[in-house]
Amino acid sequence: MLRRRFPSVELSGIFLVMVEPLHAFGDFVLDPDRSRLRRNGESVTLGHRSLALLRVLLEARGEVVSKAYLMERAWPDTIVEESNLTVQIASLRKALGPAPDGREWITTIPRIGYRLVIASPRAAHVAEVMPIKPALAVLPFANLDGDPDQDYFANGVVNDIIIALSRFRSFAVVARQSSFAYKGNFRDVRLVAKELGVSYLLQGSVRRSGSRLRIAAHLVDGDSGIHLWAKSFDGKIGDLLDFQDQITQSVATIVEPHIQAAEIERSRRERSGSVAAYDIYLQALAKISTESEKENAEAYALLMKGLEAEPDNALLLSHAAWALEHRHTMGWPPLGKDDVRQCAALARRGLEHAAGDGMVMAHCGVALLQTAKDYDWAVAVLQSAAEANPNNLMVVVRAGLAHLHCGSLEEALALFQRANRLSPGDRGAHFSLCGIADVHRIRGDYAEAIAWAARALASNPNFEPTLWVLIAANAHLGRMEEAHRFLHDLKRLTPAVTIARIKSGQPAKDPTRTDALLEGLRKAGLEEG
């Protein structure tokens, strides 16, 4: 957003610069004080009512503005016909011309009002200077039986889902007022996505059978109309509140990783080679998630390149810290002269700009825990992350990690189990499965640890902590053939792995929680250092 400087004011020895925002979108800048619209520095001729309407639409920041409110602002204290608004909107559209992607800047929301598409997601000049985050709209769930009680319940479910999804910072969620304009209007989802300016739509339905209710939900790609994910939920009418909470948690937890996976694929397909911060983040995330030493290094290089252009980008800072923390934890070769210090510095900078983003806080908190060994601060950050977004699987798992190393094993197990229960088998499931295995290992229940670690290995065979548990637990049970087989797999992934390297990457607030792990690795024959 552009800003115009005003005289500075001294307050207690500190000079504050007073600023007043100028409304900017695309190539346009509206100066409301001077009632003037410019496009690339050139004046655009508009009547005072069109200017008033444009200002109201801009102030709404992409949300829908009702016809009544627009008429009140453009014709204050005057009774006018709605046709006057239609004429002024048409005039305004003509003056603005098409947006960079060919769509109109002003979208009509049937029976409700209008919204201004502030930024086009495919505008190249925007992509070069700021992250392009996807947007999601949760549409009203269809009442398939027509029972008004079910309609009320469905609306409550949708409202809770919108609130829960709004906690995620990796995508934007359209306000309820905008999406509910389509209630009962089952048009082509691609047209709805275009009108709302979103990449994804969440749809659903409610059906009753006797005393039971079935809620079906599905996530749709707004461009293609293809279903990315679908699930149904069954519950009893007498347990509506519990049922509603179950649906909200499950949907909110599952939708985010599916959007993330779809965005990674979209970036590869449509924006390959993009230098936009959001695309750099997607490229790096895909590489970090492979659990490969080589791709981890490539991800870190990408993130540092992005930080050259946007040094205060919390998303890039936190993922750069994650990449270094992961290398240190895995015992992989360092990338710089002092990876530990660099990781801690990135994490602290990320926290300075986190602005309540649970995922940013989670990555930075684990960096402080695993690498900087700043245990008290790390635990506080990870607890805050879980409070900021209790439905983000990665955040929940990392809060469990804080308890695994520095707190209650019971609480750690509860958090890992919750993450696994809400999203079984999804990308990233190995984190919660390995966490459960690790709790059992610490308790000395090696058979149970092996059972859970085997499931984690099936989810991701490249996650080395899973192999550590399998090696150590089998060695403690005297199953040396199995221990040696998993040790061979570990050395194939990281030939230079040693006990010293693994130990240096583990929190040491309570050394007894890693002692048995390291001793099991020794029994299996892993080199000391």
- Per residue in 99-110, pLDDT (tens digit) is 776 678 898 887
When pLDDT is cut at 50, 70 and 90, the band that residue 18 belongs to is very low
pTM of the model: 0.68
Whether residues 68 and 196 fall in one domain: no
The answer to whether the CB of 459 falls within 8 A of the CB of 430 is yes
Phi and psi at residue 376, to the nearest 5°: -60, -45
Does residue 514 form part of some domain? yes
Across 470-475, average pLDDT: 98
Whether residues 104 and 143 fall in one domain: no
Whether residues 401 and 516 fall in one domain: yes
Whether residues 140 and 261 fall in one domain: yes
**What's the pLDDT score for residue 11?**
33
Whether residues 384 and 488 fall in one domain: no
When pLDDT is cut at 50, 70 and 90, the band that residue 426 belongs to is low
**What's the pLDDT score for residue 8?**
34
pLDDT in tens, 178-218: 888 888 766 788 888 888 888 999 999 988 888 888 999 99
When pLDDT is cut at 50, 70 and 90, the band that residue 12 belongs to is very low
**Between these two residues, 19 and 216, which has the higher pLDDT value?**
216
- b (16+ CB within 10 A) / e for 335-363: eeeebbebbbbbbbbbbebbeebbbbbbb
Whether residues 218 and 262 fall in one domain: yes
Residue 17 has pLDDT above 50, yes or no: no
Q: What percent of the chain has pLDDT over 70?
A: 90
Does residue 127 form part of some domain? no
**What's the pLDDT score for residue 257?**
87
When pLDDT is cut at 50, 70 and 90, the band that residue 121 belongs to is very low
Whole-angstrom Cα distance, residue 340 to residue 326?
A: 11
Our CA angle for 100, 104, 105, nearest 5°, is: 80
Name all contacts of 420-428 with Cβ < 8 Å and 24+ positions apart: 422/249, 422/250, 422/253, 422/254, 422/391, 422/393, 423/253, 423/254, 423/257, 423/393, 425/459, 426/254, 426/257, 426/393, 427/257, 427/261, 427/289, 428/257, 428/289, 428/393, 428/394, 428/397
**What's the pLDDT score for residue 33?**
59
What is the residue-averaged pLDDT of the chain?
85
Does residue 205 form part of some domain? yes
Q: Which of 389, 407, 422 is the last residue of a domain?
A: 389
Number of domains in the chain: 4
For residue 196, the domain's CATH number is 3.40.50.10610
**One-letter amino acid identity for 244?**
Q
Does residue 129 form part of some domain? no
For residue 443, the domain's CATH number is 1.25.40.10
Residue 404 has pLDDT above 80, yes or no: yes
Across 319-342, average pLDDT: 95
Whether residues 250 and 232 fall in one domain: yes
**Structural domain containing residue 106:** 3-118
Does residue 511 form part of some domain? yes
Q: Which residues, other chains included, contact 11 with Cβ-Cβ below 8 Å and sequence gap of 6+?
A: none
Whether residues 521 and 403 fall in one domain: yes
**Other beta carbons less than 10 A from residue 489's beta carbon:** 17
Whether residues 491 and 512 fall in one domain: yes
**What's the pLDDT score for residue 423?**
67
